[in-house]
Chain A
């Protein structure tokens, strides 16, 4: 326990993290600087990649969620043969129960949108190009879309009543797939980190085999020996994790002012909510806990092979 910790005020001896604050003599048993060896650097790189991938995955999930929420109760009435029946369709929609708004999309707006793909033929000199009529409909959460669709179809036979979500489903499916891929990548990186910790722990065990034998010989328990190693690995993981995490946070901040920020604007909100940021911020700590548990299991397994 460090001298600067006021034990009377902080009863750390009762906390499960007490082992992290080893006494100076215990710290001397396993020599080596906190940043010695490749483990902190390895974990820093792993943490950097993990945070970037996790942030991308969370952003994709957040984007998909925002898009889905944004279009959840939004529908379109599409009338193939133009404006002549638009007013009847709007009137029928507005008369249907649960319809909050039914707003025709101005032709100019449609032509401006199409101009992006079709060029001037869609506007100006190409003004004679026939366009379908489009009516945006917003329903109350409890509204029955089938009833509204039936009312519109009765007023304007041939009109299509389409959920915006259905139109966006391919994109939402892609976003969901990418989110799952990101989650799998994070799991793989965590697995690789755990494997690296196993190797680092075994290497440390080999290096300090003499010390372990002496400690066992004079009555140290497995838990006492394990505590030394798990503390060292935990500190390595924490240092590497925080370092890699901070670098990743810096990169994410830079990127968020560009690509992710633009996507956030498009979805009319932030892609990474407070919960997502909390998840990202907790990754270094989770990595340290994972590394500690892996180191503990590795050391205990190795010690059990001895008497």
Chain B
């Protein structure tokens, strides 16, 4: 089992998927909730975002899934500078990002099936292309028999899994999850973690905000991003400048 402060393993393999350059964020006229964030996330890597409550984890995730613009600094996603991108240019990038919200944000009046199908339909897929993958995804999260249930009739864990299924149905390149195991028991947390690592093995970069140290311990090869008081704790600079590894190292290293 290996845990490191972001080693850049994924960066080496396929390059950088996210780059923050001296990013700051404030809401309204308040003080900065995020300050001078300088880091890169490697494609295909698995990150845990940790830190005490109020450290700015959710704000950082909002920047990652393009729900907020930074008040200063530059953000690049998928190799594109998006800090000042016109809002009309953002939807195609958002479709490449899966998001598991802390409060699930399922559409209450839609069935589990329709909630999971939403990203595919928004991306323009026709019903024949939606039916199979959604059924498969619901089966994958163990909810095949709850496809027609609406969120208010689902338990917290089931809603969590629907939210995860919706986040991953379109095979996002980047998955952002805010406390995805915050409302479930330990067994369900393990199951969700298994889903996330399986997705990561398929090539998706995963960023999970969590307080759950057990979850981090149970995820070999994952990397840590730690926030405190809105600032990144990166004493070795490995988040800002991930070490470059050779192809031979990659062959033997894994990740």
A residues sitting closer than 8 Å to B (CB atoms) are 23, 25-26, 28-29, 31, 210-211, 213-222, 224, 304, 307
Q: Which residues of B contact A214 (CB under 8 A)?
A: 105-107, 118
User: What is the predominant secondary structure among interface residues of chain B facing chain A?
Assistant: mixed
B122 touches A25 (CB 8 A): no
The 3 closest A-B pairs by CB, nearest first: A219-B95, A219-B94, A31-B109
CB distance from A246 to the nearest CB of B (A): 32
B122 touches A220 (CB 8 A): yes
CB distance from A262 to the nearest CB of B (A): 56
B123 at the interface (CB under 8 A from A): yes
| Of A216, A217, A218, A307, most B-chain CB atoms within 10 Å | A218
B99 touches A215 (CB 8 A): no
- 27 residue pairs bridging A and B, Cβ less than 8 Å apart: A23-B127, A25-B114, A25-B121, A25-B127, A28-B110, A28-B114, A210-B105, A210-B108, A211-B107, A214-B106, A214-B118, A215-B118, A216-B91, A217-B65, A217-B67, A217-B99, A218-B122, A219-B91, A219-B93, A219-B97, A219-B123, A221-B91, A222-B87, A222-B88, A307-B66, A307-B67, A307-B90
Q: Which residues of A contact B106 (CB under 8 A)?
A: 214
Interface size on B, residues (CB 8 A): 33
A220 touches B69 (CB 8 A): no
B28 at the interface (CB under 8 A from A): no
Name the contact of A218 in the complex, choosing from B87, B88, B95 (C-beta under 8 A).
B95
B119 at the interface (CB under 8 A from A): yes
Q: Which residues of A contact B170 (CB under 8 A)?
A: 218
CB distance from A162 to the nearest CB of B (A): 69
CB distance from A225 to the nearest CB of B (A): 10
A220 touches B91 (CB 8 A): yes
Q: Which residues of A contact B97 (CB under 8 A)?
A: 219
CB distance from B131 to the nearest CB of A (A): 11
CB distance from A65 to the nearest CB of B (A): 50
Complex CA–CA separation, A95 to B137 (angstroms): 99
Q: Which residues of B contact A215 (CB under 8 A)?
A: 118, 122
Q: Which residues of A contact B94 (CB under 8 A)?
A: 216-219
Q: Which residues of B contact A29 (CB under 8 A)?
A: 107, 110
Q: Which residues of A contact B109 (CB under 8 A)?
A: 28, 31
Complex CA–CA separation, A25 to B129 (angstroms): 14
Q: Which residues of A contact B87 (CB under 8 A)?
A: 222, 304, 307
